[in-house]
Homo-oligomer: A and B are copies of this chain.
Amino acid sequence: MGHRERLLAGARVCLYERGYTRTTARDIVAASDTNLASIGYHFGSKEALLTAALVQAFEEWGVEIDRVLRDGTQPDLMDRLESMWTGLVESFGSHRPLWVAGIEAFALAEHLPVLREQLAESYTRARPALAAFVLQSGGENVTEETRKAIGSFLLALMIGLTVQRLLDPEAAPSGKELAAALRLIIGAVHDTAGD
C-alpha cells in the first residue's frame, strides 16, 4: 500500500477520532505511519487531503444509509418507517464516529465549496431513494416534484434524528417513539381538519 492510500486511511481515522478542524498534519502522519512531506507530495496540502478523506467518509455514510433502507421490507408503511428509524438509531450506536463526522461536514460545508457540492449532490440522490422507500407499492403515478418533497421530508427527519441522538442520546427519540409521534400527528390532523 502506497503512502497515498495510507495517508487517506490515516486522515479518515483522525477525522473520526479528532474531527476535521482538530486534526493536524502531524496527527495524520502519526496515524498513517508516513511523513510530513508526503502530504504535500500526494495531495498538495493538508486541507486537500482532509477533504478527500471526508468525501470518502461521506460515501461510506451513504452506504450505511442504503444498508438501513434495505432492511425495510414490511408491507405496512408505518412498520417500514419504524424499522428504518430503529435501524438508524442502531447504526448511531455502532458507527457513531461516522455520523459525528457527517454532522461536522454540515458545518464545514459553509466554508468548503467542494464539500458542500458533494453533500448537496449526495442529498439530491438520496431524496428519490427515500421517496421510493415510502411509495414502495403503487407509487408510480406521483410527479417528480412530490417525490422530491417526500424525500426531503424523510431526509429532514433522518438528519434531525441523527443530530438529536448525537447531542443527547438520553432525550433523543427512538424509532418507536418517532413512529408513535407520526401516528399521533396523523390523528391530530384528522381531528382539526374540517371533516
* Neighbouring B residues of A167 by C-beta, 8 Å: 106, 109, 116, 119-120, 123
Distance, CA A92 to CA B159, complexed state (A) = 17
> From residue 156 to 173 of chain A, which have CB atoms closer than 8 A to chain B?
156-161, 163-164, 166-168, 171-173
Identical copies in the complex: 2
Determine the interface band of chain A, counting residues with CB < 8 A from chain B: 35 or more
Residue ID in chain B nearest A121 by CB atoms = B168
Indicate if A1 sits at the interface (CB-CB under 8 A).
no
Partner of A19, one of B110, B182, B188, B189: B110
Tell me, rounded to whole Å, the shortest Cβ–Cβ distance linking A172 to chain B. Answer: 7
Q: A164-B159, A188-B135 are in contact. Are A107 and B110 (CB under 8 A)?
A: no
Contact call A120/B163, Cβ cutoff below 8 A = no
Identify which of B77, B123, B150, B178 contacts A156 (C-beta below 8 A).
Answer: B178
Cβ A181 vs Cβ B153 within 8 A: yes
Contacts known (A104-B107, A119-B168, A168-B119); A193 close to B78, Cβ less than 8 A: yes
Known: A22-B111, A160-B160. A149 touches B173 (CB 8 A): yes
Task: Indicate which residue in B106, B124, B153 contacts A163 across the interface (CB closer than 8 Å).
Answer: B106
Closest to A105 in B: B107
In the complex, how many angstroms separate the beta carbon of A102 from the nearest chain B beta carbon?
10
Shortest Cβ distance from residue A62 to the other chain B in the assembled complex, whole angstroms: 15
- On A, residues with C-beta under 8 Å from B are 19, 21-22, 75-78, 100, 103-104, 106-111, 116, 119-120, 123-124, 127, 134-135, 137-139, 142, 145-146, 148-150, 152-153, 155-161, 163-164, 166-168, 171-173, 177-178, 180-182, 184-186, 188-189, 191-194
25 contacts between A and B (CB under 8 A): A19-B110, A21-B21, A77-B185, A77-B188, A77-B193, A78-B193, A104-B107, A104-B110, A107-B107, A119-B167, A123-B168, A123-B171, A149-B181, A150-B184, A152-B164, A155-B164, A156-B161, A156-B164, A157-B157, A157-B160, A158-B160, A159-B160, A182-B185, A182-B189, A186-B186
